[in-house]
Structure formats: C-alpha cells, structure tokens
Amino acid sequence: MSLQACAELVERGDPDRFMATMAAPPPTRAVLFPLYAFNLEVARAPWVASEPMIAEMRLQFWRDVVEEIGQGKPPRAHEVLEPLAQAIQSENAALLDDLIAARRWDIYRDAFEDEAHFDRYIDATAGNLAWVAARALGAADEVETAIRDMAWGGGVAGFLRAVPELETRGRVPLLDGRPEGVKALADRALTRFRQGKAAQSAIPAAARPALYAFWQAEPILKAALANPLCVADGALAVSEFARRARLLLVSLTGRL
C-alpha cells in the first residue's frame, strides 16, 4: 500500500516521471516510485509556505529522515519513508541529503552566484536523484559519469521549462536570460546529454530505467537552442504524439 501511495503521489504531482516509470519494467517501480515521491515532496517543500523559516523546517525534516535511513534506523511512519528506506542503500543517504540541501535555493529570491553554483544545483538535484536510482538498480561506479551527464542535460531541460513559473514566483532562474545566454546554456546541456547518451551502452540494462525520466530532454534542449525565446514564452512542451511515441521507443529499446 505504501508503494501504491508513492505511485499515486507521483501520478498527481509529477506526471512525466509517472509515465516514464510506468514505461519501465515492473520490478524497477519499487525503486523509482519511492524515490520520485521523495523528490516530489522535497521539491514542494520550499513552495508550500510563504515564510522561509517554515520552508527551512520542512526541508530539515527530510534531511533528518534521510540521515536516519543512512544510520539504518527504522523509518518514521510516513507513506513515502518506508518504501524509500527499502528502495535505497543506506550509503546513498548522503546523496539525497545533498539533493535536499540544494533545494534551499528555491526558498529565497537570490539569483545563482555564478555558473558553478547553477551547475552544482542541477547536479545535486537531477544528477543525485538519477545516480541513486541507478545504483539501487545495479549500476556500478564506472558508469556514474555517463548517468550524471544525461541527468544534467535532462535537469537543465526541466529547469528551462520551469523558467516562466519561477519568474512568476519572483525568482531569478537564469544567470543570463538573454537569448544568447539561453542558447549557450541549452547548447552546453545538449552536449553533456549527448556525451552521456553515447556511453549508455555501458550502463546495465536493469539500471537504464533510472534515465527514462529524461526521455523528452533532447527535443526540449534542441527547441531551446533553435529558438531561445520560447523558454520565456513557456513554449518548450513536446507535442503529445511526439512525447508518447518517444517514450514508447525508449520502453521498447531500453535506450534514450
């Protein structure tokens, strides 16, 4: 029932990841749904309260429970925590803690300090989530770079889609919001995504569903590169037919 609750949370709050998980082999869902439900709860925490202190407290709750998982303590009574504790190895708790800590940027209205700060944010959020999932599904350290490269590109694609909403909420999401700056970021993300994609044959087939969530990344980044103005316009969505066809191909081949 807890796994079902995680799946329902993801279906309501992160439908793209829900679709990607349903396209994956059923045994992998016991890993992916708890991780994605956890990620959803953490991503929501900075936005559910207008007071930064309350948002900080919500993130601290998740840091505390992740630390307890890392120490091997029984999980607290929560619909996400029991399946999460069963899904991940305790040594991955530190990676999830870094993911939570990175989300503190979402609480405040400060811009990213520099390119390195932005890069760390994407790697700690999208990268750590994908790497924890891949490790739980059997990936070895030798493929970490490929997984993180694809996750970084996918994370930037998702971030670019979120730019209009972030700006509406008073955030400064981009270091350089000019068309040239958006184009440069999309180009950098597409390059990293393709670097990882070129090396994905080394990733065990059982671990590749950890990357299915990025099935739309390449067309989104290509669209941003071709027309950076569509980022501010919120026009980066892939057509329904194209996204379903692309996901079907991923599910059949096991490759992005």
172-223 pLDDT, tens digit per residue, is 999 999 999 999 999 999 999 999 999 999 999 999 999 999 999 999 999 9
112: nearest Cα among 49, 43, 176: 176
Instruction: List Cβ neighbours of 141 (8 Å cut-off, separation of 6 or more).
Output: none
Element (H, E) at 11: helix 2-13
Element (H, E) at 184: helix 179-198
Place of tokens 């950890």: 210
CB 83 within 8 A of CB 33: yes
pLDDT in the model for residue 89:
86
Q: Give me Rg for the CA atoms of the chain.
A: 17
pLDDT in the model for residue 206:
97
pLDDT in the model for residue 198:
97
The whole-angstrom separation of Cα 217 and Cα 245 is 14
pLDDT in the model for residue 76:
87
CB 215 within 8 A of CB 246: yes
Is a pLDDT exceeding 80 seen at residue 1? no
CB 39 within 8 A of CB 16: no
Q: Tens digits of per-residue pLDDT, 31-57? A: 999 999 999 999 999 998 889 999 999
Place of tokens 């080394």: 202
Give pTM, 2 decimals: 0.96
Q: Tens digits of per-residue pLDDT, 70-95? A: 999 998 888 899 999 999 888 899 99
The whole-angstrom separation of Cα 237 and Cα 216 is 9
Residue 172: count other Cβ atoms within 10 Å of its Cβ: 12
The torsion defined by the Cα of 209, 221, 155 and 118, in degrees rounded to 10, comes to: 160
Quote the strand ranges of the chain, DSSP E. none
In degrees and rounded to multiples of 5, residue 23 shows phi and psi of: -80, -15
Q: Tens digits of per-residue pLDDT, 126-146? A: 999 999 999 999 999 999 999
pLDDT in the model for residue 49:
83
Structure tokens belonging to residue 212: 């299915």
Q: Tens digits of per-residue pLDDT, 213-253? A: 999 999 999 999 999 999 999 999 889 999 999 999 999 99
Fill in the amino acid letter for 158: G
Give, rounded to a whole angstrom, the gap between the first and last alpha carbons of the chain.
31
